[in-house]
Structure formats: C-alpha cells, structure tokens
C-alpha cells in the first residue's frame, strides 16, 4: 500500500498541532461499533477516534462496509451495538449537526440552478447564523463559478460532484464524512479537493474519507477488509 505517511500523523510537519494538548477531545469517536445490514454483520466492534486535524482514510474492497460506516456515523443507520460520540455535541446541538455528509448522491435538484441548490443547502444546514463561504466563492474554489445560473440537470457528473463539494464550504462544520469524494472528478479537481481537505484539517477540522484511491495528504488509515472478514451473525438464543 502506498501511503505518504504512516499513521498516526507526525506532528513535525504541522506546527499548529504542537500547541494543542496531546489529548484533545476527539471530534468523533466510534466505540465498539457493530452494524448489521439485512441480517449480515457488516461492521463488528470497530473503534477509532478522530481528533482535530486528523484525516482518516477508510479503505476496503467493495461491500466491505465503507458506506455503511459513514452512513452510521452520519446517523442515517442505527448501529446494532456500540456507540458514536461527537465531541462538539451538547444539549443544544445533536452530534450529526457538527458533521458534513457527502454520499454517493450529490443532493442536487436538476430543476434548480446551481446557485438555488447551494443557497438552499446553506440555509437548510446552516440556518441564518452559521454561514461559511458565500456561494459564488465556494463555487470559485472548485473552478465552476461560471456555472452558477445553470440548472443542475445540465451539469456533467464531475461538475455535479464539484457543486456537491462546494456545499461543504458554504456551511462550516468541523467533521467531514466523505464517501468516495474523488469519484467523477478530474485530476485538477482532485488536487483542489485534496488541498481543501488539508486546509480544513490544518484549521482544526477532522475528515473521514472512504476511497479506493490513494490520498495525497498525511492521513491515518483503517482497512475494513483486513480488520475482519464479514462473520455470520451469532445464533440468537
């Protein structure tokens, strides 16, 4: 496996991490997480923590449970056992509200323009108070500012992906859960995304990426296929 740097992240190339206490509160922690899909145990007793500044790459063959893991962390699937803790959750904020989720769908309405789509998600996810980059700037970051008034239905797969990624910039959220974010992107856009991920981590964010492609920034790695072969469910008494 070609990894730029072994896990955990070396502190030498990230000076901002040095000032932080070594035991910073994890933004996201999975504790003995087990998830069942259609009667089959897909994830069993998976534990990890994601601290500010960390990037975690989840690999594994097709069907190893990468998307299941990300959807469970996003609160869209219920774990069979174990728990998920969000460092920034409190009485006012549910944990998943500190999380950006990018699935394999782009969550764009084909009949709305790019700007209308992004404005909607910025309002829906961020409300009036919590705003990140304005929509035009978020689009410009991915080099698609000229598409702002085009209906999303006319975009190519790669352009839609870029718009979906621009959504991450319009609302500030500390944890990014990205399911195959590089898919459909050309090499230029992959470079842009990698740079933005590095920037997000450097600013104290945390990222969990499921991908088949190598990641060109310092990261830790979990291989779901190596961890365990999917086991049959234990017999119920």
Partner 1 sequence: MSGSGLREAASGSPLAALFRRELRVGRRIGGGAALGVMFFLILVTLVPFGVGPDLNTLSRIGPAILWIAALLATLLGLDRLFAGDRDDGSLDLLLMSRTPAELTVLAKCVAHWLLTGLPLVAASPLFGLMLGMDGRALLQATASLAAGTPALTMLGAIGAALTVGLRKGGLLMAVLILPLCVPVLIFGVSAATAGLGNPVPFLTPFLVECALSLAAVAGAPFAAAAALRAMND
**Binding site residues, partner 1, CB under 8 A:** 71, 74-77, 93-94, 96-97, 99, 101, 103-112, 116, 119-121, 123-125, 127-128
Specify the residue, 103 or 230, whose C-beta has the smaller distance to partner 1. 103
Q: Put the strands of the sheet holding 81-86 in their side by side order.
A: 40-50, 28-37, 81-86
Nearest residue (CB) to partner 1, 75 versus 143:
75
CB of 128 to partner 1, least distance (A): 4
Nearer of residues 31 and 97 to partner 1, judged by Cβ? 97
Left if phi > 0, otherwise alpha if psi is -120 to 50, otherwise beta: which for 137?
A: alpha
**Smallest distance, partner 1 to C-beta of residue 76, A:** 5
Nearer to partner 1, 53 or 65 (CB): 65
Cβ 36 to partner 1, closest distance in Å?
11
Residues whose CB falls within 8 Å of the CB of residue 52, separated by 6 or more in sequence, listed in order: 20, 24, 27, 174, 204, 205, 206
Contact 143, 192 (CB under 8 A): yes
- Burial of 100: CB neighbours in 10 Å, binned 0-12, 13-18, 19+: buried
Query: Tokens 């991490």 correspond to what residue?
Result: 17
Give the helix ranges, DSSP H, for the chain: 15-18, 66-73, 114-126, 135-141, 157-170, 187-202, 224-227
The nearest distance, CB 106 to partner 1, in angstroms, is 6
CA atoms of 63 and 36, how far apart (whole Å): 13
Alpha-helix runs per DSSP H in 42-113: 66-73
Instruction: Report the residue number, 107 or 216, with the smaller CB distance to partner 1.
Output: 107
CB 135 to partner 1: min, Å? 13
Shortest Cβ 131–partner 1 spacing (Å): 8
Q: Which is nearer to partner 1, 4 or 109 (CB)?
A: 109
User: Which CB atom, from 11 or from 123, has the smaller least distance to partner 1?
Assistant: 123
- Please report where in the chains the tokens 């904020």 appear, as a residue: 93
Residue 224: C-alpha distances to residues 40, 116, 155, 221, 228 (Å): 15, 38, 34, 10, 7
CB of 222 to partner 1, least distance (A): 22
């Amino acid at each position: 496996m070609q990894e730029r740097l072994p896990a955990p992240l070396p502190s030498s190339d990230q000076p901002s991490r040095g000032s932080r206490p070594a035991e910073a509160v994890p933004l996201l922690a999975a504790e003995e997480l087990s998830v069942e899909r259609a009667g089959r145990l897909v994830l069993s007793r998976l534990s990890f923590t994601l601290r500010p500044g960390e990037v975690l790459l989840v690999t594994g063959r097709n069907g190893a449970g990468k998307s299941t893991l990300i959807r469970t962390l996003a609160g869209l699937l219920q774990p069979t056992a174990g728990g998920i803790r969000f460092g920034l959750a409190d009485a006012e904020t549910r944990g998943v509200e500190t999380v950006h989720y990018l699935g394999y769908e782009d969550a764009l309405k084909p009949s709305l323009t790019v700007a209308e789509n992004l404005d909607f998600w910025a309002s829906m996810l961020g409300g009036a108070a919590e705003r990140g980059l304005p929509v035009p700037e978020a689009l410009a970051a991915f080099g698609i500012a000229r598409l702002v008034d085009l209906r999303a239905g006319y975009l190519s797969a790669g352009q839609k992906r870029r718009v979906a990624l621009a959504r991450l910039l319009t609302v500030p959220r500390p944890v990014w859960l990205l399911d195959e974010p590089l898919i459909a992107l050309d090499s230029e856009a992959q470079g842009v995304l990698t740079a933005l991920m590095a920037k997000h981590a450097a600013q104290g964010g945390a990222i969990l990426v499921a991908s088949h492609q190598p990641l060109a920034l310092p990261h830790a790695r979990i291989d779901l296929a190596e961890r365990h072969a999917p086991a049959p469910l234990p017999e119920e008494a």
